[in-house]
Structure 1
Amino acid sequence: MTAVAIETGWVDLKVGDTVMSAYVAHPAEPGAYPGVVVGHEIYGLHATAKQATERIAALGAIAILPDLFHRQAPRADLEFGGEGRERGLELLRTLSRPEVLWDISACLDELRGREATSLNMVGFSAGGHVAYYAATQLPLAATAAFYPGWLTNTDIPLSTPEPTIEATPGITGSILLFFGGLDPLIDAEARDELEEALTANDIPHEIVVYEDAPHGYVYPGRDWYRAELAEDSWTRIADLLGR
C-alpha cells in the first residue's frame, strides 16, 4: 500500500444540546475520497486512536474520530493499565444507543459536508461494537470492526435491551470483522453466532480470525502487537474501502 500525504485537525460538532470534539485526518491533495468514522477503544482519544485515524486517511480517505465519551469526560485520554482500563469501562457503561447514534450521525453529516464519496466506519474493540451497531441503524456502505466485544450478550448498556447481534438484519452494507484466536474476551462460540447471523440475513461479510493473535493485536507500541497480522488487516481495510 502506498500512503498518501495527509493533514490533520480538530472540529467541534453539534450533537443535540452538546458539542463533541472530533479528530479529522484527510489526504492533503484535493480529490474524491470515501469517508470513514473511526470508533475508539475504552481508552478514549489516546494517541493510538489518532494514529489509526491517520493510517486510514493515508489510505486515501477522510477519517473522523469522534469523542464518544464527550458527555462525561471530554477528550479523555486514558493510560494503558488497570486504572485506565477501569475508568474506560466505567465511561463505556455511560454510553447509550441513542446517544451513540447521534454522535455517529453528526460525523456522517460532517463527511457529507466534505463531499465524501461513501460513508463507512472502522471501530476498535469497544469502538468495534459501536461500529457494528451503527451499521444496523445507519446507511453505512462498509463497516470494519476489530475484535468487537459484547455483541452476543447484554453485559454493557450498548448491548441492551437485547444483544446487539439481534439487530443484524438492519445492516444494509458490507461488514468485515477481525478477531484473534487468543482473545479471551471473544470466544469461538461468539464468532460462530456472528457468522450464523450474518449468513442468515444475506449480508456481505467476512470474518477474519488470526489464530495466534491476542486482543488488540493491531496497535503498534504494545506488547500484544503483531506486525505481520496488523499489516494484513490494513491491506484488507484498504480493499474494503476500494483504495
Structure 2
Amino acid sequence: MHDDDIKSLMPKLDMTRRGFVSAAVLATGYAMAVSPAAADAIVTDTKGLKAGAVMIPSGADSIPAYAAMPEGKGPFPTILVVQEIFGVHEYIRDVCRRLAKLGYLAVAPELYVRQGDPSKITDIPTILSNIVTKVADEQVMADLDATAVWAAKNKGDPKRLGITGFCWGGRIVWLYAAHNPKLKAGVAWYGRLAGDSTVMTPDHPLSLAAKLKAPVLGLYGGADQGIPFETVEKMREAVKAGKMPVEIVVYPDAPHAFHADYRPSYREGPAKDGWARLVKWLKGNSL
C-alpha cells in the first residue's frame, strides 16, 4: 500500500504519543494468541483498492481502524467490520479487503484500544480477563456510530450502512442492529446470544430480539462448544416478536470460528456458503 493511498483515507491524526501507540495496534500480522497462522490462510491483495490504517474521532478520543475501499469517487455502501476478541489483526483486515473487492467501503475500528492491545497477549484467557471484560457495550456502540460518521465523510454512502462481525463481533452485530435505526442490514457470525447482565454488558441479543431495527442474518455452527444450540433456537423464536426479517442458518458439523481461515477451526464448505449468503443478504437489503 502506497503512502498516498493511506493518507487519502486518513483524517486529522491524534499526534500525541497515545495516537502513535494506538495506530501501532494495526501494524502487522496475526494476534500472538493464534499464531502461527495456517499456511493456506486467505490473502486478499490491494489491487484496485485504497486500504490502510486510519484514525477515527470518537468522543474525546481518536481510535485506530483499518479501512479498505475501491479506487474511485464513490460514494460506496459502507460495512462496519467488527473484530473477534483478538482485535483488528490480519484476518479482520483481509475481510475488509474482501468486502472492498465487492464494492464496499469496509472499516474495522479497534474497539479495545482504551483497554489494551490483545494482539500482543499470548493466551485467550488473559485477553478475556484483562481486556474483553473491561469493554462496555455502550462504548462499543458509540465507537461504531463514530465510525459510521467517519465513513460518511470519506466516500461512504450514509444511506447504505451495514455491519458484520465474528465471534465477539457477532454478538455486537445483534446489539448494533437494535441500536442504530439507520442500519440497513447485519450479518452475525457465531455471536453469543445469551449471558449474564452486567454493568458492561447489560443486554444480550436474546433480550433485544424484538427490538431489532434492521434485518440480520445469523450464521452458526451446530458443533460450537461455546454457544449452546438451545440459545440459537430461542433466538429463532424471539425474533418473531419483532418487525425485522431475520434468518438464522446453522451448519450442523461446523465448530465455532468456522470462517476463520487462519485457524484449525476453519471449515471451507460452511465458510464459503456463509460468505455467499452474506453477499446475498447485503445485496438483498439495498447494500
The 5 Å alignment of 1:124-163 reads 124-139=166-181, 140-149=183-192, 151-154=193-196, 158-160=200-202, 162-163=203-204
**Superposition pairs for residues 5-20 of structure 1, below 5 Å?**
5-20=48-63
Aligned ranges for residues 51-200 of structure 1 at < 5 Å? 51-73=94-116, 76-78=118-120, 83-90=122-129, 91-113=131-153, 114-116=155-157, 117-139=159-181, 140-149=183-192, 151-154=193-196, 158-160=200-202, 162-200=203-241
Gaps of 5+ in 1: none
Q: For this pair of structures, how many residues does the alignment match?
A: 235
CA distance in 2, matches of 1:219, 1:23: 18
* Pairwise CA RMSD: 2.0
Which of the pair has more CA radius of gyration?
2
1:109-128 C-alpha deviation (Å, 9 max, x unpaired): 01222232411100100011
For 1:170 and 1:176, the matched residues in 2 are separated by 15
**Aligned-partner Cα distance in 1 for 2:76–2:281:** 13
Shift of 1:32: 4.0
SS of the counterpart of 1:118?
strand
Q: Distance in 2 between matches of 1:180 and 1:37?
A: 23
Distance 1:157 1:231, change over 3 A: farther
Q: Secondary structure at the match of 1:20?
A: strand
Whether the 8 Å contact between 2:81 and 2:106 is mirrored in structure 1 is: yes
> CA offset at residue 10 of structure 1?
1.6
Q: Is the 8 A contact 1:43 1:84 kept in 2?
A: no
Counterpart residue type for residue 73 of structure 1:
G
1:97 Cα shift?
2.0
Secondary structure at the residue paired with 2:80? strand
How is 1:213-232 mapped onto 2 (pairs within 5 angstroms)?
Answer: 213-232=254-273
Identity over the aligned pairs, expressed in percent? 28
The residue type paired with residue 48 of structure 2 is: A
Q: Is 1:95–1:157's contact at 8 Å kept on the other side of the alignment? A: no
Report the secondary structure of 1:77's partner residue. Answer: helix
Q: TM-score, normalised by structure 1?
A: 0.89
Q: Which moved more, 1:219-228 or 1:121-130?
A: 219-228
SS at match of 2:156: coil
Partner Cα separation in structure 1 for residue 100 and residue 237 of structure 2: 32
With over 3 angstroms needed to count, the CA separation of the structure-2 counterparts of 1:155 and 1:42, relative to structure 1, is: farther
Whether the 8 Å CA contact 2:105–2:156 is kept in 1: the answer is no
Partner SS, residue 68 of structure 1: coil
Q: Is the 8 A contact 2:211 2:242 kept in 1?
A: no
Distance, in Å, in 2 between the alignment partners of 1:115 and 1:163 is 29
Determine if contact 2:54/2:64 at 8 Å carries over to the other structure.
yes
Q: Give 1:238's aligned amino acid.
A: V
TM-score w.r.t. length of structure 2: 0.76
Q: CA deviation at 1:156?
A: 6.5
Give SS of 1:176's match: strand
CA contact (8 A) 1:43 1:78 kept: no
